Amino acid sequence: MKHIIFLDGDGTLWYPAKTKRGDVTHWIYLDPETKDNYLSHMELCPHVYETVAGLYAYGFTLVLISMSPKPQAEAREEHRQKLEHFNLFPFFEEWYWYAAPDKDPEGKARIMKTVLEEHNLSVTNATMIGDSIKYDYQPAVDMGMESYLIESDMAPDADNAKRDTSQLNTISEVHDLITKWDLRIPLTDSEHSLTSDG
């Protein structure tokens, strides 16, 4: 059975090389010194390439969902450029954008529902991975979907008191967790609540 993994972009797959997760990521699209060539000021988050490549090789369908305030055609092209810039394009079946959260608060949930309907899949055949409680983790949980939250204290809605047992320190932890889950290998409590020091 096909299993879709939805992945957030900014703060999950890539971030500004200068601040990494030490500040909100969207400054790079607004700063006069970086907004016109932001790709040259960005880098992949640790372990992203090998994790994404591994999940793809394992047979998961990878879908990017990321926010953009720009018109649809322009936003879609920018997301494609990011995937190509970081050599991730071959691993992703599709990529979607949604408007700025204040204009489209249900953006990611709406897209995930549409993608699952198009593939004739239920939420039990999907997983969401992102760094935001409000815009990544919670919409998926509210749908009944498995969701993992990448640790990021500087995310716009960061509130460690709300972060629960599905927090991961890096995206590299996702591969082992999801492949075990997909193979019906029960996870121990400690595995499901990874908060390693690494």
Name residues whose C-beta falls within 8 Å of residue 59's C-beta, 6 or more positions apart in sequence. Answer: 3
Residue 78 token pair: 């920018």
The full DSSP string for 116-136 is HHHTT--GGGEEEEES-IIII
In tens digits, what is the pLDDT along the chain, a chain of 198 residues?
789 999 999 989 999 888 887 777 778 888 889 888 988 999 998 889 988 998 898 889 999 998 877 777 888 888 899 999 999 999 998 888 766 666 666 788 999 999 999 999 999 999 999 888 888 888 898 999 988 888 776 544 445 444 554 666 667 677 666 655 544 333 333 333 332 223
Beta strands 61-67 and 167-168 are unpaired
pTM: 0.81
* 195 contacts 169 by C-beta, under 8 angstroms: yes
**Which domains are assigned to the chain?**
4-62+71-107+119-192 (3.40.50.1000)
* 83 contacts 49 by C-beta, under 8 angstroms: no
d(C-alpha 89, C-alpha 194), whole Å? 29
- Residue 50: CB atoms within 10 Å: 12
